Amino acid sequence: MDEIREESKSNPVLIFKYSNRCSVSQLALDRLERKWSEEDTAGIKPYFLDLINFREISNRIAHQFEVEHESPQVIVIKDGRSVYDGSHFDIDYGDILQAAKAERIT
């Protein structure tokens, strides 16, 4: 968690939480992967978390970044905090890009 928080201070981090036993998780991942473009997402570091095997880590993510646990779920971390979270079919590629690329408000 500390590494992700630190990394997000220089580049946005995307965490995709999913269950490999859930068809909705697979559909959400497929939708995101079809749209994912290296050109659009340059600088965004993606991490994938299998909730079945790493539920404790998922709970820590929810607690540390102050988001409610859901699955499937995308969380974008920027400047050490969550700037976007979406779950199920509300995971939106355009919203992810917008949150990741938005200028920091001070």
Ranges of each domain in the chain: 2-101
pTM of the model: 0.90
The pLDDT assigned to 78 comes to: 96
Domain 2-101 in this protein, CATH class? alpha beta
DSSP string covering 23-63, please? HHHHHHHHHHHHH--TTTTTT-EEEEEETTT-HHHHHHHHH
State pLDDT tens for residues 41-86: 888 999 999 999 999 999 999 999 999 999 999 999 999 999 999 9
- Dihedral sign, Cα of residue 21, residue 27, residue 33, residue 36: negative
Residue 97 has pLDDT above 50, yes or no: yes
Distance of CA 9 to the CA centre of its chain: 15
Which amino acid is present at 78? Answer: K
Q: How confident is the model at residue 106 (pLDDT cuts 50, 70, 90)?
A: very low
- In the chain, the largest separation of any two C-alpha atoms, in whole Å, equals 41
Structure tokens of 72?
């499937």
